[in-house]
Amino acid sequence: MVNLTQYEIDYVKKALGRDPNEAEWKTIDALWSEHCSYKSSKIFLRSFPSEGKGVIMGIEDWQDAGAVDIGDNYAIVIKVESHNHPSAIDPFNGAATGVGGIIRDIISKGAKPLALLDMIRVGNLSDNKNKWLLKNIISGIGFYGNSIGVPVVGGELAFDNSYSDNPLVDVACVGIVNKNKIKPSIVNRKGLKIVIAGLTGIDGLGGASFASRKLSGEDEIGAVQIADPFAGKIIMDVTLEIQDKVEAIKDLGGGGLAVAVTEMSNGLGVVVSLDKVPLRVKDMRPEDILVSETQERMLYAVKDENVQDVCKAFEYYDYPCSVIGEITGDGVVRFTYNNKEIVSLSSDLLLYPPLYAWPIEEKKESNEVKPNIEIKTAIEKILLNPDLVSKEWAYSQFDYEVGTSTVLKPGMADSSVISLPNGKLLAIKGDANPDLCEEDAYECGKYIFAEAYKNLASVGSKGIVAVDHLQFGDPKRPEIYNDFVESVRGIGEAARFFSIPIVGGKVSFYNENKNNIPIKPTPLIVMAGLIEGKLLKPRIEEGNIVILGYTRNEMRGSLFSKIFGKYGNIPKSRLQEDLLASEITLNLINDDKIYFAKDVSRGGIIGSLMPILANSYTVSIDTSKIIGTEDIYAKLFSENSGRFVFITSDPFSISDLAKKKGMIASTIGKVRKGNYLEIDSLKFNISHIVDHYYNYLRDEIE
């Protein structure tokens, strides 16, 4: 079975002047899958700014990751990927192989992986299947990351019914490399030998095609790869050892050999003998060898005189290594088996499938519901929401300090921080906001890019590079495709405003369950930045609470609206305010004026106070001091952008600096020892909320 449209089938037959055989159909199916070809998204992705200061490798066809110069002859390499469909079928192996795949993307550039982020979204935990999915996803991530020795230093964990049966499992990785030794994933001359390391099996058959269609509810377990982190460690170590002996490196990921060989050959043409591919299972069909996505395999383009040295390095570990082909220069991709040519297709046909721009249609406006709920009840429901609880249950299963580069442990701040070999500190963060994207994907695209920028600023870092992951349902559905197009427009606008290049990314369509119910639109931004001044290690102490920025009645897409009904305006991302607020925050950190900083986002001001309350402190807030809207719900729960919450002993200096920068800051309350939350005349004990904050996940899942 191939996942091609009738138009594509007719297109291929006309281009070839014949009917392809089974092996050729499978090759085309893999190369033309949404997962590999981006045929429904590429024309819009071209609008992203991928060039800029320090960019060494940006968004380029068939490169496995992007790279940015950070000085001292070093570059960071960064990539984000997902394993959504596999994790829905086999959450342990699906999540584990997602980690393995992203690590191989990093080492394909010759870079040493330094840290992982995992961004996970599942259905509500009232459903036992969602509990099973989450438990095994976390186990799979921990199993692979801990075994291979790359720390998981942070991420996200959020819940929504739209992810029931279709969880999102995003993994990002950052690595370090000498900028003069970055390896391409493609070749530019003929005569190079194609070398494969690793065994090919029957797991992961047709995985790229599987990821490019809706979940059917049928048994698709064969499309899920099996994780082997110990083999992955060998691949990682040897690849870094032999990088000077190879001309190009490519991970065998989606589409297996068919895709990796075709993309690496870069249109020059290649011939590969499938007989020479080391197999895990005897008597595999050549068609299956072509598209198997067995993990822990790597492809190398090698000069003839270096082949022996490359394979000798693997022989030390008794790890399979074999020369399977050669770059020909004739523009044809050929696969042979038993001295018989079973695939002969032009590179251009495989690499340049038809591109699509599907019809779009804006969503209909939903009805507004003006809430009528007591403030205390609203506060409790917000603070008890699973999105705001401690994620310690998940982080505790990851060895986040392996490699000794972790500076801020997961959950300590809004961004993770690692140390680099040149002594610099790098902050990284991933952000998404599906509730806002469901309301307005364009504003959401700007919002999540700006939020990532602000999260980096909250620890003292300025963003320098980003990657994206765009996750939606069926692109042929006009409302879904409109969300995709609008989110791309918003992300691109924000990236240009902040002058931050997007050097790579991923598009994942067809995220729908067996009942054709799509996920909420979930574009994701992962951003990295250097700490050029001081690092803020957040600490909770007695002091003044200061809000930087103007609070607006922009409640749509907020956690409050999700719980109590939609009302208010859609947040407008005022990027100038986000930039100014971030610059002020950096100045305050470098001048030692604050000891806690958090951008106002999920849950509004009340959500931003949760880390303070969780440390057994009393928070007193005077809402009349919150500058902006007079709506009490919006004062406390609006998630409009351009704002930070600080704890400080010197509130006047913050107000003065904000005024000089054209912003506003106001002292709205105090922090002192205790277990109470005081909002105006309202005072209540929050011991039960703190207990829920620390124990919810463990109690629900274990």
Instruction: List active site positions.
Output: 35, 83
- Residue 357 is given by DSSP the state -
Annotation-wise, does 672 bind a ligand?
A: no
Which two tokens mark 321?
Answer: 């290594």
Q: Mapping DSSP to helix (H, G, I), strand (E, B) and coil, where does residue 115 land?
A: strand
| Residue 117 host element (H or E) | strand 112-122
CA distances to 632, 648, 665 from 625, rounded to whole Å, are 12, 16, 10
DSSP H helical ranges for 269-318 = 286-291, 307-315
Annotation-wise, does 685 bind a ligand?
A: no
Annotation-wise, does 79 bind a ligand?
A: yes
Annotation-wise, does 81 bind a ligand?
A: yes
| Residue 438 host element (H or E) | helix 434-439
Annotation-wise, does 397 bind a ligand?
A: no
Annotation-wise, does 688 bind a ligand?
A: no
Annotation-wise, does 38 bind a ligand?
A: yes
DSSP one-letter string for 637-657: H---SS-EEEEES-HHHHHHH
Annotation-wise, does 429 bind a ligand?
A: no
Annotation-wise, does 469 bind a ligand?
A: no
Distance CA 20, CA 5 (A): 15
Q: Mapping DSSP to helix (H, G, I), strand (E, B) and coil, where does residue 443 land?
A: helix
Cβ proximity of 11 and 28 under 8 Å: no
Annotation-wise, does 104 bind a ligand?
A: yes
B/e letters for 1-25, b = 16+ CB within 10 Å, e = fewer, are ebbbeeebeebbeeeeeeebeebbb
Distance CA 411, CA 431 (A): 14
* Phi and psi based region of residue 309 (left: phi greater than 0; alpha: psi -120 to 50; beta: remaining): alpha
Annotation-wise, does 52 bind a ligand?
A: no
B/e letters for 50-68, b = 16+ CB within 10 Å, e = fewer, are bebebbbbbbeebbbbbbb
Going by C-beta distance under 8 Å and a sequence separation of 6 or more, which residues neighbour residue 38?
45, 507
Distance CA 602, CA 433 (A): 9
Annotation-wise, does 53 bind a ligand?
A: no
User: Helix 128-148 vs helix 91-107: angle between axes, to the nearest 10 degrees?
Assistant: 30
Cβ proximity of 285 and 318 under 8 Å: no
Annotation-wise, does 123 bind a ligand?
A: no
Annotation-wise, does 105 bind a ligand?
A: yes
CA distances to 47, 248, 459, 572 from 298, rounded to whole Å, are 31, 11, 37, 45
Annotated binding site for substrate: 82-85, 104, 225, 508
Annotated binding site for ATP: 38, 79, 468, 505
Annotated binding site for Mg(2+): 81, 105, 251
